[in-house]
C-alpha cells in the first residue's frame, strides 16, 4: 500500500501525520508504525498521528508512540495536528477536536503559534522529593540544577523502568527554575524510550509544578532543547489547575509517500 504522509515538528518533537478521514489507514500494525517512525529505515519521528473524522468535532486525534503502540495525549502532537488540519483545508478560527483524554480547543494566531487547551489537572502528588501528575499523559517531575548538563537518558530510564513505573511507564522530566516565571525542561519520553527535544504534556506538567502565582493566573515560559513554549493556567483555591493552554510553534517539514509492506 502506498502511504501519503506529512512530517511536522513542534519545538523539535516530531511526528508523521496521516489524513485518515477516508479510513484508508485504519488497522496500521505496531510493526508498520514502528517502521514509519524509524529514523534509519523509515521516515523517522517521535510519534505518528491519524486525523480521523468525528461526529460533533472538527476531527479526532489518534496518537502512536515511536514504539508502534497507541498512547495517551501528546501536547506537541495536538498542536502539530491542528496546523496540519489548517494546511489540508480545515480552516477554523477555533478548533474543537477529540483525543484519548477528551475534547480539546485550539487556535492558530497570526504568527502561526498554535495554542492548545489541555485537560484540567486536579492533583499533583508528592513522590519522595519529586512530583507526579497527569496532563493527558503521566509525568514524573524532578527539580534539579544545571539541567543542560544532566544525564537525562540514564536517570530518566532508571525512573521509567523502576518497579513503581515499569508496567505502565511514565515520562520523566528534569526541571530547572531559571527565573520566577521561566523554567528549563528536558524529558525522557515513554514509548520513544529516549530524550526528546521537547514534550508538550511534560512541559505543561513542569509548568504547573513551578507555578509563580499560588492563586490565579500563571504564565510560565519553558525553554527546551527544541525551542520555547509557554504554558498559561489558573491555579484555583483548592490547588487545582484550570484553563491550561500550551502555546508554541508547529511547522510542516516535508511531505511524501512510502510503500508500506504487510
Could you give the residue numbers annotated as active site? 74, 199
Residue 40, marked binder = no
Shortest distance in whole angstroms from residue 199 CB to ligand API: 4
- Which residues, 114 to 153, sit near ligand API by CB under 6 A? 137
Buried b (16+ CB within 10 A) or exposed e, 190-213: bbbbebbbbbbbbbbbbbbbbbee
Shortest Cβ distance from residue 139 to ligand API (Å)? Answer: 8
169 has binding-site annotation: no
Q: Could you tell me the smallest distance in angstroms from the CB atom of residue 237 to ligand API?
A: 28
Member of 20, 65, 218, 224 binding ligand API (CB under 6 A): 65
Give the 3-state secondary structure of residue 117.
strand
196 belongs to an annotated ligand binding site: no
Residue 218: CB minimum distance to ligand API, A: 19
Beta strand 47-52 with 114-118 is unpaired
- By CB under 6 A, residue 190 contacts ligand API: yes
Distances (CA, A) of 131 to 171, 172, 207: 12, 10, 12
Q: Which one, 46 or 176, has the nearer CB to ligand API?
A: 46
- The residues facing 246 across adjacent strands are 116, 231
- Calculate the alpha carbon distances from 182 to 22, 98, 114 in Å: 43, 30, 20
Residue whose C-alpha is closest to residue 246's, from 190, 185, 197, 202: 202
Name which of 137 and 206 has its Cβ closer to ligand API.
137
**Does 68 engage in binding with ligand API (CB under 6 A)?**
no
Q: Which long-range contacts (CB under 8 A, 24 or more apart) does 213-216 make?
A: none
11 is known to lie in a ligand binding site? no
Q: Binding site for substrate: residue ranges?
A: 13, 65, 75-76, 171, 189-190, 200-201
Q: Binding site: residue ranges?
A: 13, 65, 75-76, 171, 189-190, 200-201
Residues that bind ligand API (CB under 6 A): 13, 46-47, 65, 71-72, 74-77, 137, 171, 189-192, 199-201
Amino acid at each position: 500500500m502506498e502511504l501519503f504522509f506529512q512530517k511536522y515538528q513542534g519545538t523539535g518533537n516530531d511526528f508523521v501525520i496521516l489524513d485518515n478521514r477516508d479510513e484508508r489507514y485504519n488497522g496500521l500494525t505496531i510493526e508498520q508504525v514502528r517502521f514509519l517512525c524509524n529514523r534509519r529505515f523509515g521516515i523517522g519521528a517521535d510519534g505518528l498521528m491519524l486525523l480521523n473524522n468525528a461526529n460533533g468535532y472538527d476531527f479526532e486525534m489518534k496518537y502512536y508512540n515511536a514504539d508502534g503502540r497507541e498512547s495517551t495525549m501528546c501536547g506537541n502532537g495536538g498542536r502539530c495536528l491542528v496546523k496540519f488540519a489548517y494546511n489540508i483545508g480545515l480552516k477554523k478560527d477555533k478548533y474543537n477536536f477529540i483525543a484519548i483524554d477528551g475534547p480539546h480547543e485550539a487556535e492558530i494566531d497570526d504568527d502561526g503559534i498554535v495554542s492548545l487547551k489541555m485537560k484540567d489537572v486536579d492533583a499533583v502528588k508528592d513522590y519522595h522529593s519529586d512530583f507526579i501528575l497527569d496532563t493527558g499523559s503521566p509525568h514524573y517531575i524532578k527539580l534539579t540544577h544545571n539541567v543542560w548538563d544532566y544525564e537525562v537518558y540514564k536517570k530518566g530510564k532508571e525512573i521509567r523502568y523502576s518497579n513503581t513505573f515499569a508496567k505502565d511507564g511514565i515520562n520523566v522530566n528534569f526541571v530547572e527554575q531559571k527565573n520566577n516565571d521561566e523554567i528549563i525542561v528536558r524529558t525522557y519520553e515513554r514509548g520513544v524510550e529516549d530524550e526528546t527535544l521537547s514534550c508538550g504534556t511534560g512541559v505543561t506538567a513542569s509548568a504547573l509544578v513551578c507555578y509563580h502565582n499560588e492563586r490565579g493566573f500563571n504564565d510560565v515560559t519553558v525553554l527546551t532543547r527544541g525551542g520555547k513554549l509557554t504554558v498559561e493556567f489558573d491555579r484555583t483555591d483548592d490547588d487545582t489547575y484550570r484553563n491550561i493552554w500550551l502555546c508554541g510553534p508547529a511547522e510542516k517539514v516535508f511531505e511524501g509517500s512510502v510503500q508500506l509492506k504487510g
